């Protein structure tokens, strides 16, 4: 899915609408799918996982950061997928808890999904979901290998930390609380290393980061409309 997303982003303008993305996939066949049905299915999957809609602030933020660093794209894609796919999100704690170098078997992921909703999925569906989820974590750099997945450490970049902080910001978090969200758990790095990435993001104009006497402030100028910011502030009062 990451490869398809990269192709689509490279063939569309940053200001593209959802209709533009649909036309690129279905009509122009920029993904090189063999049939129209396959193209329509690919678009539905991409839209479900990433929104492909500039009115969605999460996708809009990803689209803003996407062209700045190819190496940051895998984690950016994972972040948006985690925000939109409950099954994928249910595996985050499990994957991150695995020891480096440890094997993450498909069967373990199947059991995890099944435990969330016993007997809801058929064995075939569980296998398909587990394979897709394993592929997503592999594309993002947290797992390595094909049939045998090994837990590894991904590479982190300022452009990806900017998006993950923004996701915490959308939840109503500010200040130090931004650094303790589940989104930041994806880094698993020391606090000083994380702050160095945030500082680099600030120097590149991706966000505004101020750290004085241990008091942290992070702002995202231009990321939200006034109405979206109002809603975000309302959310901040209940979490």
pLDDT score at 31 = 98
Domain residue limits, the chain: 2-80, 83-151, 158-236
Q: Classify domain 158-236 at the CATH topology level.
A: Arc Repressor Mutant, subunit A (1.10.10)
Give the three-state DSSP class for 60.
helix
Tens digit of each residue's pLDDT (9 = 90 or more) over 182-229: 999 999 878 889 999 999 999 999 999 999 887 899 999 999 999 999
pLDDT score at 165 = 98
Q: Name the residue among 74, 82, 75 with its Cα closest to residue 6.
A: 74
Tens digit of each residue's pLDDT (9 = 90 or more) over 145-182: 988 899 999 999 999 999 999 999 999 999 999 999 99
- Per the prediction, the chain carries an average pLDDT of 94
Rg of the chain over Cα atoms, rounded to whole angstroms, equals 18
Tens digit of each residue's pLDDT (9 = 90 or more) over 11-20: 999 999 999 9
CA dihedral 180, 182, 183, 185 (to 10 degrees): 70
CB 178 within 8 A of CB 168: yes
CB 74 within 8 A of CB 154: yes
Q: Is pTM, for the whole model, over 0.85?
A: yes
């Amino acid at each position: 899915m990451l490869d398809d997303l990269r192709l689509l982003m490279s063939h569309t303008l940053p200001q593209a609408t959802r209709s533009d993305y649909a036309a690129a996939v279905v009509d122009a066949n920029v993904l090189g799918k063999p049939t129209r049905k396959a193209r329509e299915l690919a678009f539905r999957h991409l839209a479900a996982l990433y929104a492909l809609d500039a009115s969605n602030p999460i996708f809009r933020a990803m689209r803003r950061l996407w062209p700045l660093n190819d190496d940051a794209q895998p984690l950016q894609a994972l972040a948006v997928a985690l925000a939109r796919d409950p099954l994928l999100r249910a595996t985050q704690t499990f994957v991150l808890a695995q020891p480096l170098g440890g094997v993450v078997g498909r069967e373990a992921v199947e059991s995890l999904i099944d435990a969330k909703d016993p007997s809801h999925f058929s064995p075939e569906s569980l296998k398909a979901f587990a394979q897709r989820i394993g592929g997503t974590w592999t594309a993002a750099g947290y797992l390595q290998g094909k049939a045998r997945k090994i837990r590894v450490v991904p590479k982190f970049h300022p452009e990806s930390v900017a998006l993950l902080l923004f996701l915490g910001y959308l939840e109503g978090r500010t200040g130090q609380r931004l650094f303790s969200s589940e989104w930041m758990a994806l880094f698993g790095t020391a606090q000083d290393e994380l702050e160095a990435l945030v500082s680099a993001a600030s120097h590149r104009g991706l966000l505004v980061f101020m750290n004085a006497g241990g008091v942290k402030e992070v702002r995202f100028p231009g990321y939200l409309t006034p109405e979206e910011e109002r809603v975000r502030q309302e959310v901040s009062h209940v979490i």
